[in-house]
Chain A
Amino acid sequence: MTSTMEPEVGKARLRKEDARLITGRTRWTDNLTLPGLLHMAILRSPMAHARITGIDTSAAKDLPGVLAVLTGADLADEQGSLPCAWPITEDMKSPNAPSIAVDTVNFAGEVVAVVVARSAYEAADALERIDVDYDDLPVVLDMEAAVAEGADLVHADLGTNRSATWVFDSGEAGTGSDVEKAISESEVVIERTYRQQRLIPAFMEPRSVMCDPTGEQLTLWSATQVPHILRFLIAAQLGVPEHKVRVIAPDVGGGFGGKLQVTPEEFLTLLVARRLGKPVKYTETRSESLQSGHHGRDQIQKLTLSARRDGTVTGLKVELLADMGAYLRLVTPGIPILGAFMFNAIYKFPAYRFVCTNVFTNKTPTDAYRGAGRPEATYAIERLMDELAAELGMDPMEVREKNWIKHEEFPFTTVAGLTYDSGNYEAATAKAMELFGYDALRTEQRERRERGDTVQLGIGISTFTEMCGLAPSRVLGSLSYGAGGWEHAAIRMLPTGKVEVVTGSSAHGQGHETAWSQIVADQLGVPFEDIEVIHGDTQSSHKGMDTYGSRSLTVGAMAVIKATDKVKEKAAKVAAHMLEAGEDDVEFSAGSFRVRGAGADAKSVSIQDVALAVFAAHDLPDGVEPNLDSEATFDPENFSFPHGTHLCATEVDTETGQVRIRSYVCVDDIGKVVNPLIVEGQVHGGLVQGIAQALFEEAVHDESGTLTTGTLADYLVPSAADLPSFVTDRTETPSTTNVLGVKGVGEAGTIASTPAVVNAIVDAVRHLGVNDIQMPCTPMRVWQAIQTGQTDAGGLGSEAGGGLGSIDTSGGAQ
């Protein structure tokens, strides 16, 4: 039976996960309850920077159903500091980061008091009865002003708003030559300043956390991407012995980096539950989520690219200011540094220098958001390649082709010091150009320009690559990251022949249960349906580094495969005994052991037979343990480098500034594919998040530091009506760094699409004197650029994305 099994890897399997999700049987954290469960609500500071001079909680405490009202003073002795695991330099300035403010608030949304009550409604009522007095402190919002001489300070005790400056220089590193020399000797220099606006991950499931302190272990359920990291850091930061903490990430409704965090709310729920000795749950509102969950991006990029007149690039200099917000969260300082290795992208720059200064402001802390550092880099370089083409009067694809690494040049060590193992930019580009109808669109563009059409056509290119599969532990070590990048897995062979796969890579929508089942089905020759994937509970899946950075397949699944190898090794000994053959004489294929060369009809024992025999343990070879279960930990040797060619055609209405995406084609090369259905879904969703950065989304703070995009009416997560359908395709150049040849797909679409869209918009109106439009390219900004011919229309954002502004502040719609 098993000998005729088709390979599972590569099959468009429908997802196992769906059954519970489409019927409402999902276990979101907020769905869970416990006997005697209490509800916590949080009072947040409306001030971006202020001293707390008094908090009156008496009226709140008087309300029926209220068990406790706690302030920073009540919790100061036990709250420790929230962790920052990535001290990027030895002299990095890092403020103490309390979960609840004690005497000063540093961003609007910071916790100042908590209420615990019988019901969520009663807790919300009590919040309104808390009276807090604040004394204003100067608010620091603008990054350039923050690093200027004599600037007001976010953290006075640090003496500066500069957290750290991180430098990579190819001349010093020996990976290339000196960039200043390259620039001074070049024939063409392109200088631009681009701005990565502040974004919000905006996962659909608001964060929720529930803590049960009544058992032997303190149990914390949390809507988190990182249950294992959370457990470790609860132990490290709050002093709870690690073996007395259990963390469970039940069904988690999206993350996109936004749930790659150890949050104030998690620590506070734990502290409060422990103090009261009763289970406590906290679920944020959407407004709280947008205001206080970490934000993403937010960089000012000063860029200098040098080239020869024939289009050959000679140097790239990148100077960044990166907004940390008010505190350094889990990996905040390292996010822009992840981009350091990607600005040179697929191009053969001989000289490169990257300098990033991390800056404190009185805004919500930033941290990982889908792509994390790499979208910023990709945006910058892909915009610059278009600018270079325009400067030289060349076709933008021709400029790229002139500079990219040819397929026969792999493996290729870049000027940033990474070794790209494989790739074929020519193949992906050829396929994308054909699907897109590049030449016909260029012809139409020319015609529209000639006849002065009010709707102009633009074509945008993004030939991106990324580094993913975070990460080789030694590389993380060299970047001062606080942990390794390995992943763990275990296989449990059950007596009836069913299989449990334990993975440290905890999914939140990606489809690991399906993909891991496909992989294990092939490795062990057992049916897809007979495999159960277990994750997200530190008691059953005790070891892991969790899910982010497109690492699950390239790292997590490799651990799974290693574990299956060990199972087969153990099983081979028993099978040989059962077949009365020597261990070296049996071979395993399609789920069964046979004597080598004995033919298909010869006696065989299936791996399920072996599992049962081991369970009985009546007749095992001497010295063989009655157990096939195995575990393995995998640490990758290198990153993987997905790439692709994305092409976008936009129609820009020059009278209204409205942008319409007419067609979008992408050909991604993510190596071998485990499940094409899941891959396509990841690409679609990734594209939309990148397009949303280009067209819709921006977290805007007014001049007092209040977030004016604090609802989904103002923070414009696009709906179905705002988007086109996409044409997606693939080329397949296997990665050489793992046995499956896979590369990872979670972030590709997001990294690639933003510059493709903005390049298309600028291309549509470049002949009107425009060479940049700040993101998001709202109708107002596009119109303004066309009217004034400004080169950087829109300025720094001061209005909510659509200019709608349902929150009425002075910085609202204009």
Chain B
Amino acid sequence: MTALQIIFLLAAAVILISAVMVTATRNMVHAALWLIATLFGVAVIFAVLEAGFLAVVQVVVYIGAIAIMFIFAVMLTRREMLDKGPQMNKRAWLAGILCVVIFASLIYMLSSWVGFNQIPLLVGNADTLTLLGQSLLLPSAYLLPFEVASVLLLAALVGAVYVASNRKQEEK
């Protein structure tokens, strides 16, 4: 059991337990906080996979922005005294069976693939951060998806502000 394996197992345990708590807890703010624990675990997994940039971006974008948006949205859409109903659908057990079936079939399909038990190659001296920057900015690499993503974010910004704005004055 190398140290890396122990770190992976701990992070995976945190991720899976927090994910189950996200889907099972009644209190919505607690669900958002469990999501934050899951996101931390995923950041640790990225660091184990030697994608340090992605680990830090995960903390900044997901935990620093998206999770806070969720907490605000939960606080803005609560109804006092009305959190008492059942918080799962009536046929939730069917969803549970379906998810177990999907999980099992995914593992079955993947395990029949040749590379399923690969050992990682040594990283060597590749400076992955510089390579990542270059691949995002070279037209022969992935410049177009990068620009399209920025346009998408602009559209989301404008759309979200417009949709969430209070237009009661216009309707009157």
**A and B pair up:** no
The interface of chain B, by Cβ under 8 A from chain A, is none
The interface of chain A, by Cβ under 8 A from chain B, is none
